[in-house]
């Protein structure tokens, strides 16, 4: 695995895709009201409003780290599966989500006393992002 194999432009596109999908996923017309109520945030409260520049900065940074790690994994898995392409990329994203993200969030939500509905909303967004990241990085070589 080498950082020279990373398509940095595709990584930036993945970060943008993450911001777009998150804004759609947690939109007031989609999952935000159910999620907000499920985590116990008052209706009038704005999440992270105390320091939004830090919230957004760390959100973008986290997406960037995920996209770089995904690029490395897509390249490695593509090498094992006969080539890196959209399907091996999407499959890699799905397997990383299934093996690491979904179970980690499940344990966190169970011990936090939050419902499986909240878990499903949160990991659903990550599923979309990981599969899209993998597909973009696999197809865009």
Mean of pLDDT over the chain:
92
**Average pLDDT value for residue range 107-136:** 97
What lies within 8 Å, CB to CB, of 46 at 6+ separation is none
Tokens of 39: 């985590």
Angle at the Cα of 52 from the Cα atoms of 46 and 57, rounded to 5 degrees: 135
Examine the pLDDT at 58 and tell me if it is beyond 70.
yes
Examine the pLDDT at 79 and tell me if it is beyond 80.
no
Contact 126, 97 (CB under 8 A): yes
Contact 123, 101 (CB under 8 A): yes
Q: Tell me the whole-structure pTM to 2 decimals.
A: 0.90
pLDDT tens column, 89-100: 999 999 999 999
């Amino acid at each position: 695995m080498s950082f020279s194999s990373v398509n940095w432009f595709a990584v930036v596109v993945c970060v943008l895709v993450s911001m777009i999908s998150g804004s759609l996923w947690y939109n007031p017309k989609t999952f935000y009201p159910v999620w907000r109520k499920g985590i116990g945030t008052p209706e009038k409260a704005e999440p992270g409003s105390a320091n939004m520049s830090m919230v957004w900065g760390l959100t973008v940074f986290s997406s960037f780290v995920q996209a770089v790690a995904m690029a490395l994994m897509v390249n490695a898995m593509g090498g094992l599966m006969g080539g890196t392409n959209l399907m091996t990329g999407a499959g890699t994203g799905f397997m990383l989500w299934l093996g690491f993200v979904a179970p980690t969030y499940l344990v966190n939500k169970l011990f936090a006393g939050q419902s499986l509905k909240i878990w499903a909303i949160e990991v659903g967004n990550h599923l979309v992002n990981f599969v899209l990241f993998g597909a973009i990085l696999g197809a865009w070589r």
